[in-house]
Amino acid sequence: MTVRSFSKPVDTPPSPRSRVVRFLGAGVINTAFGYSVFAALVFLGAHPQVALIVQFVIGVIWNYWIHGRYVFGVRGYARLPLYALSYVIIYFANAFLLRAFMVAGLNAYLAQAVALGPVVILSYVMISHALGVRPGAKGDERL
């Protein structure tokens, strides 16, 4: 009987399929945390855009560590500046969608929840590139 290992050393990057699954798993945890921060700040009276920027700032370093090590098998912090820049771009896309959905009549909570779908897809593409991995590449093709 063979025992299957569910973890790989960081030196062996996950397969492309495993990356997507791991990204989604990390995303569930990161999104739950980030959305909780956002909702708590809005509940406490913060403007939704202020709550959004605070949520993103808090999440950048934590998410870098989760995405880098667990999802893409990247060590160290050499790619942190590009990762942070990706988050800035993702933030502005998220902020635009949040505002657009609120202008369309959704409240801040629902508007942010609806924005999550497109933001997750954009995040995977941007973060993959920031961490030096081509999304959808066969094998382990690093940029």
How far apart, in whole angstroms, are the C-alpha atoms of residue 55 and residue 31? 10
Please tell me which residue, 20 or 115, carries the higher pLDDT value: 115
Of 26-35, 73-82, 134-143, which gets the smallest average pLDDT? 134-143
Q: How many CB atoms lie within 10 A of CB 72?
A: 23
Q: Quick one: pLDDT band at residue 3, thresholds 50, 70, 90?
A: very low
d(CA 71, CA 22): 5
Render pLDDT for 65-117 as a digit per residue (tens, 0 to 9). Answer: 888 888 888 888 899 999 999 989 998 999 999 999 999 999 999 999 999 89
pTM of the model: 0.69
Q: What is the pLDDT of residue 46?
A: 97
Kindly tell me if the per-residue pLDDT of 5 is higher than 50.
Answer: no
Q: Quick one: how far is CA 42 from the chain centroid? A: 21
| C-alpha–C-alpha distance, residues 126 and 63, integer Å | 13
